[in-house]
């Protein structure tokens, strides 16, 4: 029987969510931008973290990252420019 090992790197997403949470707690504008995005669960995507040629056989590695729409908001939050979205 073949075994497949799947790993997921969500470290950047967790960091991004923490940043958004802190920002939303402090800024009404940031809260509104988050509400405008709707369901945040749809604002993330899986990306192959490593080319298959570099991963040992039987392993698949993915990274979870923000979609383009959320990435724009995150960039605005990091810049402190919530109206840039």
Average the pLDDT over each of 21-25, 54-58, 81-85 and give the range with the smallest value: 81-85
Exposure class string for 45-61: b at 16+ Cβ within 10 A, else e? eeeebeeeeeeeeeeeb
* Residue 85 confidence (pLDDT): 41
Q: Give Cβ neighbours of residue 37 (< 8 Å, ≥ 6 apart).
A: 43, 69, 70, 73
* Residue 27 confidence (pLDDT): 86
* Residue 82 confidence (pLDDT): 61
Note the pLDDT tens digit of each residue in 3-54. Answer: 878 888 999 999 999 999 999 898 888 889 889 988 888 899 988 766 666 6
- What's the residue count for the chain? 85
* Residue 51 confidence (pLDDT): 60
């Amino acid at each position: 029987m073949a075994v497949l090992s799947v790993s997921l790197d969500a470290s950047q997403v967790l960091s991004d969510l923490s940043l958004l949470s802190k920002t939303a707690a402090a800024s009404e504008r940031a809260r509104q931008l988050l509400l405008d995005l709707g369901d945040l669960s749809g604002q993330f995507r899986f990306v192959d973290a490593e080319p298959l040629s570099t991963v040992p056989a039987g392993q698949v590695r993915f990274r979870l990252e923000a979609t383009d729409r959320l990435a724009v908001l995150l960039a605005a939050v990091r810049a402190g420019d919530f109206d840039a979205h």
